[in-house]
Amino acid sequence: MFFCVNDMAVMQAWAEDQKAIGTHVNFFADPYGTLPKHFGMELTHPGPIGKGLVGRSKRFALYIDDGEVKYQALAEDPDFDPAGDDFPEKCMPEQMIAAIKEIQ
């Protein structure tokens, strides 16, 4: 499942572009940023906010099993890359799969 602080039209276009329609991968819109706020992942660093990026989300990934967060990854460097865009490796599938295997 992928979510993004964006509207459903953008998420639908992204899913189509990634050829995810009809697969087990789902794209969800979260235009109000409810999920990042709940998990404390709202991007509040003054750098991005100063450029007009208000109400955005940090780049993060969660492994949730039976309603419990078992693993959380955050691609953030508060001094260099507060959004986690330049070095997203911690949240990429390979890293998440390796972390999940260790937990299981």
* 61 belongs to a structural domain: yes
Same domain, 59 and 25: no
Q: Is the pLDDT of residue 85 over 90?
A: no
Query: 31: Cβ–Cβ under 8 A, 6 or more apart, which residues?
Result: 5, 6, 7, 8
- Contact call for residues 8 and 29 (beta carbons, < 8 A): yes
In a domain, 64, yes or no: yes
- The answer to whether residues 54 and 25 belong to one domain is no
Residue 27 and residue 53 in one domain = no
What's the whole-model pTM score? 0.80
Please indicate, yes or no, if residue 75 is contained in any of the structural domains. yes
The pLDDT of residue 11 is: 94
Phi/psi of residue 34, nearest 5 degrees? -65, -45
Q: Could you list the residue range(s) of the whole structural domain that residue 11 is in?
A: 1-31
Residue 45 has what pLDDT? 86
| pLDDT tens per residue, range 66-78 | 999 999 999 988 8
- 59 shares its domain with 13: no
Same domain, 23 and 50: no
Domain count, the chain: 2
The answer on pLDDT for 53 being more than 80 is no
